[in-house]
Amino acid sequence: MSDSTSNDELAREDAVGLADRIRRGDLSPVESVQATIDRIERLDRELNAVIHRQFEDALELAASPDLPEGPFRGVPMLLKDLWAEEAGRPHHAGIQALKDADHRSTIDSNMVIRYKEAGFVIVGRTNTPELGLVATTEPHAYGPCRNPWGTDHGTGGSSGGAAAAVASGMLPAANASDGGGSIRIPAAMCGLVGLKPSRGRVSMGPVKEEWGVSVQHVVCHTMRDCAAILDATAIPFLGDGVIAPDPGRPWIDQVDRDPGSLRIGFMDHSPRTEVHPDCAEATRRTASMLEGLGHHVEQAHPPALDQIDELGWAFNVNWGVGSVLSLEHLGEQLGRTVTEDDVEPGTWFLAERGRGVSAVDYAKAQGIMGTFRRTMAEWWESGFDLLVTPTTALPPPRIGELTPTAGDPVRGSKGSLPYAVFTSPFNTTGQPGISLPLGTSDGLPVGVQLVGAYGREDLLIAVGSQLEAIARWSDRRAPIHA
């Protein structure tokens, strides 16, 4: 590292910029990784974002000639402690029983394989709620993750540790996953870019399937990181169950591309919950910005979003059955039957409810979700290119507001509704959605969501880049920041 390059300066580099410095020889992979380690050690006492650290091994890999010559060679990466497994490393999914057992993965997940091929150096794992089930990162196993914009507030869930790490400048981008909003919600609460790709855009193997509500990517500061990391990871594996259509690669070419004049609908309210005025205002202001960019913008949204009580039932059935499967898998990991004492009250409640679901009701729920997916697609097919909504209906909650208790085990699930009401429908449909940091509420970030038709991440990246050029959100950093 040159004498003129400070660690604070590096903390403002995005992943693309950091990789460019390393390629030019201005910075070595070891210096890049060490700078991130220094920032984690300095900042994480206040935030509790990084729960597993593998610093020595990361430095050894960064110095090794075996470090792959990928596009992000020497750039540090943090893995969310859920789904993104790395052989020999802890993988606890926010569960105290796995922490107590010092459980370690035996495989590299497909996403981790792609990160390693790209040259990323994994330096640790980030905090997540138990099994990623609620919209706050406050697991009993590791304690609450705190928002660098205000430490009395949460970071969202379930990628809250990843969002806190990136928002505070520990590193430019971090692995995240989204089964109901878990990339977009923390991105909104921490002032970041958070893209949920289309179903089947990235491989979920070998443990999980692509045909589901969950998908992985990153939280980051810039549209070019969002696009370039997708280029490095959206490469199918043999046997993937769904592979999203490709409208034209590379994704990085969509950054700063003029998408032409688009027809865009916006929705600033919800039939299911009240929307905070600051969240609604951020949406309306974004609509005005888009109109100023030459797009045709109108107050319009898919009618199916006004009639989602049946979808809510189906999503909850799917969520409950998924919880049962997760506890079955937990039992296999522990080598014994899981008891109520092994998990948090909310997790046990969801699984008990899931055990009461009949095979017929589960099949019915899948049918309802399929019908909703097809009905929603009709709105985009009718001539709309994008939908704009708040990412969340409320600003970031205070620590403790969404944690389940023994007396109220569904407190976390019910409290999560306003945070997932705009995001979870698009996990059902499999459409891509992105949260952009385009609003504030009492000094805390709130996000605005753009949703495209299935497979159309290209439009989200192009339009997101237009908004980034106006808003310059990456110039604004959290009070707790490197």
**Residue indicated by tokens 């909104």:** 188
Structure tokens that stand for 245 in this block: 């259509």
Tokens standing for residue 191: 């002032």
Could you check whether the bond before residue 158 is cis, i.e. omega within 30 degrees of 0?
yes
Q: Say if residue 78 is exposed, middle or buried (CB neighbours under 10 Å; 0-12, 13-18, 19+).
A: buried
User: How far is Cα 357 from Cα 207, in angstroms, rounded to an integer?
Assistant: 23
**Nearest CA-CA partner of 420 in 162, 84, 186:** 186
Rg for the chain, CA atoms, rounded: 21
The strand pair at 193-196 and 433-441 is best described as: antiparallel
Sheet containing 296-299: give its strands across. 173-178, 215-220, 193-196, 433-441, 444-452, 386-390, 263-266, 296-299
Catalytic residue among 80, 116, 196, 208: 80
State the catalytic residue, choosing from 32, 182, 198, 474: 182
Residue length, the chain?
482
Q: Can you say whether the dihedral through the CA atoms of 197, 199, 205, 208 is positive or negative?
A: positive
Q: What angle do CA 115, 121, 126 make, to 5 degrees?
A: 85
CA nearest 386: which of 466, 270, 475? 466
Reply yes or no on whether 80 is catalytic. Answer: yes
Buried b (16+ CB within 10 A) or exposed e, 441-457: beebbbbbbbbbbbbbb
**How many other CB atoms sit within 10 Å of the CB of residue 173?**
30
Residue holding tokens 């937990």? 330
Under 8 Å between Cβ of 194 and 435: yes
Q: Is residue 398 helix, strand or coil?
A: strand
Catalytic: 6?
no
3-class secondary structure, 403: coil
Residue 395 is given by DSSP the state: -
Q: How far is CA 153 from the centre of its chain?
A: 18
Region of 373 on the Ramachandran plot (φ > 0 left; ψ -120 to 50 alpha; else beta): alpha
First and final C-alpha spacing in the chain:
17
Catalytic hit among 32, 109, 158, 465:
158
The question of whether 182 is a catalytic residue gets the answer: yes
The token duo for 393 is: 């209906």
Point out the residues that are catalytic.
80, 158, 182
